[in-house]
Chains A and B, each alone.
Chain A
Amino acid sequence: QQPVQSPQAVILREGEDAVINCSSSKALYSVHWYRQKHGEAPVFLMILLKGGEQKGHEKISASFNEKKQQSSLYLTASQLSYSGTYFCGTERGGSYIPTFGRGTSLIVHP
């Protein structure tokens, strides 16, 4: 079942913060986050596992609340290069198959 992402779109100025949410109605084993720029392939950002800790690198981090079947992606002090569409992919235990949401479009202006 497809996860639900919110918001659908975010417009920011450089240096501002953003949060993108991903929720599922099914129990999850893991959540994958990808960023896709127009005309390009999705690029992996991070994966969060059931029972794991919040992850992050540089100014992009994410959390996974297993009980609520929700994950959030945090982008702090956004840069122009952060622009793109962010997808979460959720995996139920044993499936090995990420199911992707409809994406959140992020636009960062100078």
Chain B
Amino acid sequence: DTGVSQDPRHKITKRGQNVTFRCDPISEHNRLYWYRQTLGQGPEFLTYFQNEAQLEKSRLLSDRFSAERPKGSFSTLEIQRTEQGDSAMYLCASSRRDRDTEAFFGQGTRLTVV
């Protein structure tokens, strides 16, 4: 059990470019979450998967954001046509199927849009 792994750890991109982040959850964790965190704020929910099914997506999330979890294992988060306001830490978390268990967070991907 190596924990939740995210790649890359840092990404600098020019405005208008597309970026993709990857998250490898703890094996056998069927729930996977994506959060976004900006300085001085708590993690803000983006989307949630149970196995390969995307069950919920934040209403705050624009159509430029898309996430997938093929085969219920790793997940990717893509941001198209990045804007400066997208600059943030993107956190992935996973948890077991059992109700009321902790979510383990990855180290995050820090995105800077210039």
List A residues at the B interface (Cβ < 8 Å).
2, 30, 32, 34, 40-44, 47, 49, 87, 89, 95-103
* B62 contact set on A, CB distance < 8 A: none
Shortest B77–chain A CB gap in Å is 16
How many residues on the B side are at the interface (Cβ–Cβ under 8 A)? 24
B71-114 toward A: CB 8 Å interface, digit per residue (1/0)? Answer: 00000000000000000000100000001111111111000000
B41 interfacial by beta-carbon distance below 8 Å: yes
Known A2-B42, A47-B100, A47-B101; 19 more pairs at CB < 8 Å? A41-B4, A41-B91, A41-B105, A42-B43, A42-B91, A44-B102, A44-B103, A47-B102, A49-B100, A87-B42, A95-B56, A96-B31, A96-B50, A96-B99, A97-B48, A98-B103, A99-B45, A101-B42, A103-B42
A40 CA to B45 CA, complexed, in Å: 18
Provide 17 A-B residue pairs closer than 8 Å at the C-beta atoms, listed in order of the A residue.
A40-B107, A41-B91, A41-B105, A41-B107, A41-B108, A42-B43, A42-B105, A44-B103, A44-B104, A97-B33, A97-B48, A98-B45, A100-B44, A102-B41, A103-B40, A103-B41, A103-B42
Interface residues of B (CB under 8 A from A): 4, 31, 33, 35, 40-45, 48, 50, 56, 91, 99-108
Q: Are B100 and A87 in contact (CB under 8 A)?
A: no
Give chain B residues whose Cβ lies under 8 Å from the Cβ of A102.
40-42
CA distance A42 to B31 in the complex (A): 17
Residues of A within 8 A of B31 (CB): 96
Cα of A44 to Cα of B96 in the assembled complex, Å: 14
CB distance from A4 to the nearest CB of B (A): 11
Q: A42-B105, A100-B44 are in contact. Are A30 and B100 (CB under 8 A)?
A: yes
A31 to chain B, nearest CB (A): 11
Give the most central of A2, A40, A98: most B CB within 10 Å: A98
